[in-house]
Amino acid sequence: MTVASVLSLVLLLTGTTTSRRVFETLYEWNLINFDLPYGSFVPENNLFTGLEIYWDRIFLALPNLKSGVPATLAWLPRPDQPGAAFIGQSPALQPYPSLGWQGTAGNCSGLVSVYRMRIDRCDRLWVLDSGVITTLDNFTPACPPKILVFDLKTDRLVRNIVLPKDVVRPNTLLTNLVIDYEIVGGSRGDTYFGVPIPQESCDDAFLYMTDTANAGIVVYDIRNDQSWRVFHPSMLPHPDYCTYHIAGENFTLPDAIVGIALSPETSSQHSLDPYGYRQQRLLYFQPFAGIRLFSMPTSVLQTPPDIDTDLQIGVVFEKTSQSASLATDPNDGTIYFNPVTELALATLKPGSTQAQLIIQDPDRLQFSSDILVTPRDNYNVWFVSSKFQKFFRQTYDPHVINFRIMRIAQTHTPVLQTPIVQSLTTAAPQTSYKNSLFFY
Ligand SMILES: *[C@@H]1O[C@H](CO)[C@@H](O)[C@H](O)[C@H]1NC(C)=O
Ligand SMILES: *[C@@H]1O[C@H](CO)[C@@H](O)[C@H](O)[C@H]1NC(C)=O
């Protein structure tokens, strides 16, 4: 089996113009299978939500949404790498770093339930462990949420960060994270034209994490080992958008903020506005149950908020349907998301008022929960799909492909003609909410 043999050519008819897009399916499964000598395993209760790409390996996060998930963090060889041990089209997932780390809700020392993980600039894998098991059945917070950091050169644990009680709520569910290596410095608002503090060590960074059940962003200052919560009503599920329509099936899930992604670093030329001024770095975010894409400056996130803090929330865009996944290209700031009803992958150029579908596929794009613009693969776009509507409704057909890892080649990106949505407003000044910070 070679990559080329599962290469997919996608034809998109876009009104008067025809664009040909190429994307590849690198791996695909009917149902997830594991390479395990023991453990309780219910195949139809397993799905992956998180994807990360290292030089030689693919990492997958499989949260414990229902019982019977034997490993919450797994890896596979990268099939596009010469010399990689290619193990078939539907390989068994390998527990990471080993089986002994998995499902250790009993004593909370190992991995309990992971939704997403990210690799930093120093070859370390930051694994965000929600600590919550059987989330969709009875939401059991079995262990405190924590961040386990593995050195990918040795596969050894190098840090174990247990978040303090004051940033955790009884129903906290941490599902996503980004690593911000640009420390803005100074107090909030003073640095709009300023130059960021240069990074001196691997730990000169901030983590921003999404709380999807008790809406909010948890910030962790790695240098100073401090953390705080930031909340704004834009992070809540919107009651009009809690039901998802995917390929003829519907389900309802009032999920708050899930998708987060950073705009390019301000040292990048793409952070200059049309007048040549340096723009603030932004964190983009979106509740899953909602169609608006929001932003806030990282300078605001990097300072513990108080009751009078203006969080400078902006409305960037309004999508045609919900999306869990969100990514940005660190080079030009292009935003990627997967509107669930369109069964598509869409892009939005910063400052543009129109998003574009770049891929649409009625089968293979049924619910993508993670997209990456991958520095360790020449900034190609990788994404997963898992037919979550069938997971939710327990309607998986075990005789067809339900799970996929896919990739588009950046170099093939054409300009498509058909906008799918109009934005609410993108030109500065953006819609902004004042002084609406709450602690609860
Ligand atoms: C907790 O789990 C870890 C990982 O499985 C194991 O190494 C350790 O011995 C356990 N500790 C206790 C006190 O059971
Ligand atoms: C799903 O929702 C759509 C839009 O509300 C509706 O037309 C359709 O009948 C629903 N499908 C099912 C299977 O309930």
Tens digits of residue pLDDT in 387-421: 999 999 999 999 999 999 999 975 544 444 344 44
Q: Higher model confidence: residue 140 or residue 87? A: 140
Query: pLDDT at position 12, please?
Result: 33
pLDDT at 425 over 70: no
Closest atom of ligand 2 to 250 CA is 1
Give the integer Cα–Cα distance in Å for 247 and 249. 6
Give the integer Cα–Cα distance in Å for 58 and 53. 5
Residue minimizing CA distance to atom 10 of ligand 1: 107
Work out the percent of the chain whose per-residue pLDDT is above 90: 71
Give the integer Cα–Cα distance in Å for 345 and 56. 25
How many CB atoms within 10 Å of residue 135? Answer: 20
Q: Separation of 166 CA from ligand 1 center, angstroms?
A: 26
pLDDT at 299 over 80: yes
Tens digits of residue pLDDT in 158-197: 999 999 999 999 999 999 999 999 998 654 444 444 566 6
Q: Is the peptide bond before 97 cis (omega within 30 degrees of 0)?
A: yes
Could you tell which of 102, 107, 160 is best to mutate to test the pocket of ligand 1, judged by most ligand atoms within 8 Å of the CB?
107
Q: Is the peptide bond before 429 cis (omega within 30 degrees of 0)?
A: yes
pLDDT band at 344 (very low <50, low <70, confident <90, very high): very high
Residue minimizing CA distance to atom 14 of ligand 1: 107
Residue minimizing CA distance to atom 11 of ligand 1: 107
Tens digits of residue pLDDT in 2-27: 333 333 333 333 332 323 468 899 99
Return the amino acid letter for 343. Answer: L
Overall average pLDDT of the 67-80 stretch: 94
Q: Higher model confidence: residue 195 or residue 315? A: 315
Query: pLDDT at position 37, please?
Result: 79
Return the amino acid letter for 276. Answer: G
Query: What is the 8-class DSSP label of residue 272?
Result: B
| Highest-confidence segment of 13-27, 34-48, 80-94, 389-403 | 389-403
pLDDT at 198 over 80: no
Q: Separation of 247 CA from ligand 2 center, angstroms?
A: 10
Query: pLDDT at position 266, please?
Result: 84
Q: Is 250 in the pocket of ligand 2 (CB under 6 A)?
A: yes
- H helices present in 229-317, as ranges: 298-301
Ligand nearest to the CA of 248: 2
Given a contact cutoff of 8 angstroms between Cβ atoms, the answer to whether 32 and 94 are in contact is no
Query: pLDDT at position 3, please?
Result: 37
Give the integer Cα–Cα distance in Å for 334 and 267. 16
Query: pLDDT at position 199, please?
Result: 67
Could you tell which of 240, 244, 245, 320 is best to mutate to test the pocket of ligand 2, judged by most ligand atoms within 8 Å of the CB?
245
pLDDT at 440 over 60: no
Q: Separation of 163 CA from ligand 2 center, angstroms?
A: 41
Pocket of ligand 1 (CB under 6 A): 100, 104, 107, 109-110
- How is domain 13-22+106-384+410-433 classified at the architecture level of CATH? 6 Propeller (2.120)
Q: Is 245 in the pocket of ligand 2 (CB under 6 A)?
A: yes
The region of weakest confidence among 7-11, 91-95, 96-100, 305-309 is 7-11
Ligand nearest to the CA of 321: 2
pLDDT band at 433 (very low <50, low <70, confident <90, very high): very low
What's the token pair of residue 66? 């229902």
Please list, in sequence order, all residues whose beta carbon lies within 8 angstroms of the beta carbon of residue 190, skipping any fewer than 6 positions away: none
Question: Across all residues in the chain, what is the average pLDDT?
Answer: 85
Q: Is 395 in the pocket of ligand 2 (CB under 6 A)?
A: no
Ligand nearest to the CA of 102: 1
What does the radius of gyration of the chain's CA atoms come to, in whole angstroms?
A: 21
DSSP one-letter string for 185-243: -SSTTTTTT--PBPP-STT--EEEEEETTTTEEEEEETTTTEEEEE--GGGSPPGGG-E
Q: Separation of 321 CA from ligand 2 center, angstroms?
A: 14
pLDDT at 52 over 60: yes
pLDDT at 98 over 90: yes
Given a contact cutoff of 8 angstroms between Cβ atoms, the answer to whether 93 and 100 are in contact is no
pLDDT at 212 over 90: yes
Q: Separation of 243 CA from ligand 2 center, angstroms?
A: 10
The CA dihedral of 31, 156, 407, 83, to the nearest 10 degrees, is -100
Query: pLDDT at position 276, please?
Result: 62
Provide the residue ranges of all domains of the chain, joining segments of one domain with +: 13-22+106-384+410-433
Q: Separation of 167 CA from ligand 2 center, angstroms?
A: 39
Tens digits of residue pLDDT in 115-146: 999 999 999 999 999 999 999 999 999 999 99
What's the whole-model pTM score? 0.88
Q: Is 156 in the pocket of ligand 2 (CB under 6 A)?
A: no
pLDDT at 368 over 90: yes
Beta strands, E only, 319-377: 326-328, 335-337, 344-348, 354-360, 371-374
Query: What is the 8-class DSSP label of residue 301?
Result: H
Give the integer Cα–Cα distance in Å for 386 and 247. 13
